[in-house]
Amino acid sequence: MNGPLMNGAESLVETLVAGGVEVCFTNPGTSEMHFVAALDSVPGIRCVLCLFEGGATGAADGYARMAGKPAATLLHLGPGLGNGIANLHNARRARSPIVNIVGDHATYHLQHDAPLTSDIEGLARPVSAWVRTTQNAVSVGSDAAEAIAAASAPPGRIATLILPADAAWTEGGKVARTPPIAPAKRVSEAAIAGAAQALRAGKETMLMLGGAALRQEGLDWAGAIAAKTGARLMAQGSNARVERGAGRVPVERVPYPVDSALAVLKDVRRLVLVGAGVPVAFFAYPGKPGRLISEDCEVRILAAPEDDLTATLAALADAVGAKKSEAPRQIAARPDLPSGAITLDSIAATLGALLPEDAIVCDESVTTGRGFFTLTRGAAPHDWLQITGGAIGLGIPLATGAAVGAPHRKVINLEADGSGMYTLQALWTQARERLDVLTVIWANRSYAILRGELANVGARNPGRKALDMLSLDNPALDWVSLAKGMGVEGKRVTTIDAFADAFRAALTMRGPFLIEVVI
C-alpha cells in the first residue's frame, strides 16, 4: 500500500502489525467503521468479536498475561469504553500491556454534542498510563506506534489511543515504527546488599513476591534464597500469573480474610518486596487494621514491578551465596479422588486430582476457591491466573483471551456463578473462535462471600430484604441452557463423582465446554 493513498485507519493497522500486535478484541460502532474496514483490507490481525466491551477488555488482559505482549481493543466512544472499564481496571492491576483503541466522532462533529459525545479522555485516564487523542490522519501511525511502546514498557501498561472518525477516514496515513522500549531496570548493588543483610535474620524476614517474580525462573531464585537464608517466601494475595505445580518452587499467597492474613504475617519483622506491595486488607473493617504487617515490621522495597525482577532475585541469590539447585521443589502429590457430597473440600480435592499438565487456570472462584491453591499445589505443572483488581466479571473473558494467547494449552476457568453473570457473553466468543476452554461454574446460587462480609463489617440484624440482595435463586440460573444458547455445550452435576466424570470427559475434548456444579 502506498503512503499517500493510505487513510489513517489503514496506517493504524499497518503500524499495529509492524509493532507485533496480532489480535484485536473488538466491539465496533459507526465511528469505527473505517478501522473495521482497514482490519479487513490490511492482513495480519486476528479480529475477535466480543458481545460486550467488558468481554473485549478482559480478553485483552488474558491474552497479554499468556502471550506476554499487547493485543489491541476496538471500543465504541465513551459508552463502549465505559462498559470495558472494570476489566481495564483489573488489567491495570495485573500490569497487562494493552493497546486500547477507542473510536470517537469526527473532530468537527463534536461541536454538535450528538448523543454519543462524552469525555473519553476523562474516562480513560484512571485506567490508562498513556492517553492520546489522535489529531489527524497523518499522526495516527506515529501515535499508534507510541501507544504500542507505552503499553509494552515493563512491566506492562494500558495505553489508550482515541481515534476520531475523520482521522481514520482521511487519506495521508503514515505507517510508523514502534520506538525502542527501554528494558526493565536493574536495581542497585546497594539495594541488593541491603536486602541480603535483612535476609540474614532468617525466618523473621519474608520475601514477598509479585509480578514476574512468580514465574518459574524468579521462583527458582527466590526458593534458593529462602532455602539458604531461612527467610520465608510468600506471594501477594492477587497475582496475574503464578507458575506452579510439581517440580516448581511452591509459594503460598497472602490469604484474603483479614484475620488469616494477620496470623500468617504476625511474626514478620522484615519484609523485602520484590514486585509486590505491602499487604493490605481488601476493605476496611471496623476495629481491624488496614496494613496486614505488624507496626514494627521494617519494609524494604528491593524491586518495584517495573524493575527486572528475575535479575534482581538472581543477584540477591548470588549475594547470599544461594544456588538454584538448592531451591525446594514441590513433589508430585495429588489428593485422592473424593466421593459423595459436593463440598468445598471435595471440589478442591477433585481439581487437585485431575488438573491436567500445562493447564491455564483462570480463577474467579470467589468463596468456593479458598482451598484450591493448597490442594492443587502438587498437581502437574500449570499456570494460575487470578482476578487482580477485585472487579468481578473477569473470569470468562480472561479465559477467552488466555486461550487466544496460548492456543495449544487447555484453559480451565473456575468461575463463581454471580461473577460469571457479568460477562457471560464471552462464552459466545469461545464458541465462535472454537477456543479450548473448560468453564466450571460454582452454582451456589448466591453472592456467598457477601453473606460473610455482612457479618464481618458488623451490619446489624440483616433481614429478608438484605439477604435477598445476596441470593441468586428464585429463579435459579440454568447455566447449561445459558451456555447452550451461546453455542457452548454443557452438563450439570449434583454429586462429586459426577463432577469428576464430567471433568475427566471434558479434558478429552477440544473446544469450549461448561460444567455447572450445583453446590
Helix (H) or strand (E) holding 438: strand 437-443
3-state class of 287 per DSSP? coil
Q: Which does residue 368 bind out of ligand TPP, Mg ion, none, counting CB within 5 to 8 angstroms by kind?
A: ligand TPP
Region near ligand TPP per CB under 6 A, out of 229-237, 267-275, 438-446, 484-492: 438-446
Tell whether residue 417 is a contact of ligand TPP (CB under 6 A).
yes
Q: How far is the CB of 400 from Mg ion (least distance, A)?
A: 21
Region near ligand TPP per CB under 6 A, out of 39-47, 291-299, 370-378, 385-393: 385-393
Among 327, 392, 404, 435, binds ligand TPP (CB under 6 A): 392
Residue number, 52 or 447, with CB nearest to ligand TPP = 447
Q: How far is the CB of 46 from ligand TPP (least distance, A)?
A: 28
Q: Which does residue 431 bind out of ligand TPP, Mg ion, none, counting CB within 5 to 8 angstroms by kind?
A: none
Region near Mg ion per CB under 5 A, out of 340-348, 349-357, 410-418, 478-486: 410-418
- Angle formed at CA 88 by CA 83 and CA 92, multiple of 5 degrees: 165
Q: Which residues share a beta bridge with 232?
A: 206
Q: Buried b / exposed e across 328-357, counting CB within 10 Å, b at 16+? A: eebeeebbeebeeebebebbbbbbbbbbee
Tell whether residue 447 is a contact of ligand TPP (CB under 6 A).
yes
Kindly write down the DSSP assignment for every residue of 55-113, as one continuous string. HHHHHHHHHHHHHSSPEEEEEEHHHHHHHHHHHHHHHHHHT--EEEEEEE--GGGGGG-
Q: How far is the CB of 452 from ligand TPP (least distance, A)?
A: 8
Residue number, 45 or 443, with CB nearest to Mg ion = 443
Region near Mg ion per CB under 5 A, out of 201-209, 231-239, 346-354, 444-452: 444-452
Site for ligand TPP in 84-143 (CB under 6 A): 86
Measured in degrees and rounded to the nearest 5, phi and psi for residue 383 equal -110, 145
Residue number, 87 or 139, with CB nearest to ligand TPP = 87
Cα–Cα distance for residue pair 369/449, rounded to 1 Å? 11
State the cell numbers at 127. Answer: 485506567
Among 159, 235, 322, 366, binds ligand TPP (CB under 6 A): 366
Cα–Cα distance for residue pair 266/237, rounded to 1 Å? 16
Q: How far is the CB of 479 from ligand TPP (least distance, A)?
A: 12
Tell whether residue 393 is a contact of ligand TPP (CB under 6 A).
yes
Q: What is the dihedral of CA 49, 81, 236, 517, to 10 degrees?
A: -50
Tell whether residue 416 is a contact of ligand TPP (CB under 6 A).
yes
Q: Which residues share a beta bridge with 415?
A: 364, 441
**161: nearest Cα among 305, 29, 13, 61:** 13
**151: nearest Cα among 99, 81, 89:** 99
Among 236, 368, 388, 430, binds ligand TPP (CB under 6 A): 368
Yes or no: say if 275 and 212 are a contact pair by the CB < 8 Å rule: yes
Q: How far is the CB of 261 from ligand TPP (least distance, A)?
A: 18
Q: Which does residue 330 bind out of ligand TPP, Mg ion, none, counting CB within 5 to 8 angstroms by kind?
A: none
Yes or no: say if 470 and 477 are a contact pair by the CB < 8 Å rule: no
Among 14, 61, 104, 417, binds Mg ion (CB under 5 A): 417
Residue number, 7 or 239, with CB nearest to ligand TPP = 239
Yes or no: say if 181 and 19 are a contact pair by the CB < 8 Å rule: no
Residue with cell 505491602: 278
Tell whether residue 477 is a contact of ligand TPP (CB under 6 A).
no
3-state class of 197 per DSSP? helix
User: What mask, x for binding ligand TPP by CB under 6 A, covers residues 324 to 363?
Assistant: ----------------------------------------
Tell whether residue 440 is a contact of ligand TPP (CB under 6 A).
no
Region near ligand TPP per CB under 6 A, out of 94-102, 131-139, 337-345, 384-392: 384-392
Cα–Cα distance for residue pair 150/100, rounded to 1 Å? 11
Q: Please give the size of the binding site for ligand TPP, defined by CB under 6 A.
A: 19
Cα–Cα distance for residue pair 199/316, rounded to 1 Å? 10
Tell whether residue 444 is a contact of Mg ion (CB under 5 A).
yes
Region near ligand TPP per CB under 6 A, out of 62-70, 219-227, 424-432, 443-451: 443-451
Pinpoint the alpha helices (H) of 384-492. Answer: 395-405, 417-420, 426-432, 448-456, 464-468, 479-485
Q: Which residues contact 282 (CB under 8 A, 6 or more apart)?
A: 237, 256, 390
User: What mask, x for binding Mg ion by CB under 5 A, covers residues 229 to 268?
Assistant: ----------------------------------------
Binding residues for Mg ion (CB under 5 A): 416-418, 444
- Residues of the shown chain interacting with ligand TPP in the complex, contacts defined by CB under 6 A: 86, 366-368, 390-393, 416-419, 442, 444, 446-450
